[in-house]
Amino acid sequence: MDDARKLLNVVDVEATCWKGQPPPGAVNEIIEIGLTVVDIEARERVARHRMLVRPRRSAVSEFCTELTGLTQAEVDTGVEFAEACRWLAAEHDAGTRPWASWGDYDRKQFEHQCKATETAYPFGQRHTNAKQAFALARGLRRRPGMARALEIAGLPLEGRHHSGADDAWNIAALVLDLLGRGQWPRP
């Protein structure tokens, strides 16, 4: 198995959000990309990354700051979305390496934002919905949130929930749990 095949990118994003409806003209935009690289063969997390992304059509609300811990001033130091996508493609072989996220939100948010900003989609087609894989492996009717899945698996929640970097790290722990049980689907 070559390096591209034995590595898995686990991605979690945080996006602008509001308690109710967004303000007029505002849209959900990625403001943080968390990425944990998992060596599937060695069954370990081998890298952890965080990239802040500057929103263009929305601002970080008070609700969003309470949820994610991110402030407008902090994300203003981030990179443009297109640059973040180029980084994923160049530094993490996102176009060829399989990747996973908890649910389909992250994949759909990237697809939508890439289309809206005319940015090249950085990922390939080998995406695994880790939330679905976990529920199937555990025989659960309902797909649990990441924090609940960690409880079910007997794993600690490390860091802050709703931090992209910390959530990607925790999702990777759930992927490793499934790998250890022989229940991680091959992409």
Q: Computed over its alpha carbons, how large is the radius of gyration of the chain?
A: 16
Closest Cα partner for 122 from 80, 82, 171? 82
pLDDT over threshold 80, residue 187: no
Distance CA 16, CA 18 (A): 7
The reported pLDDT for the residue numbered 186 is: 77
Burial class (CB in 10 A: 0-12, 13-18, 19+), 120: exposed
DSSP secondary structure letters along 62-127: HHHHHHH---HHHHTTSB-HHHHHHHHHHHH-TTTS-EEESSSHHHHHHHHHHHHHT------S-E
The reported pLDDT for the residue numbered 94 is: 96
Residue 181: how many CB atoms within 10 A of its CB?
Answer: 11
Which structure tokens are listed for 53?
């992304």
Q: How far is CA 165 from the centre of its chain?
A: 8
Closest Cα partner for 50 from 16, 94, 11? 11
Residue ranges of domains in the chain, CATH in brackets? 3-180 (3.30.420.10)
Tens digits of residue pLDDT in 78-88: 999 999 999 99
Tens digits of residue pLDDT in 22-59: 999 999 999 999 999 999 999 999 999 999 999 999 99
pLDDT over threshold 60, residue 170: yes
The reported pLDDT for the residue numbered 116 is: 97
Tens digits of residue pLDDT in 86-145: 999 999 999 999 999 999 999 999 999 999 999 999 999 999 999 999 999 999 999 999
The reported pLDDT for the residue numbered 17 is: 97
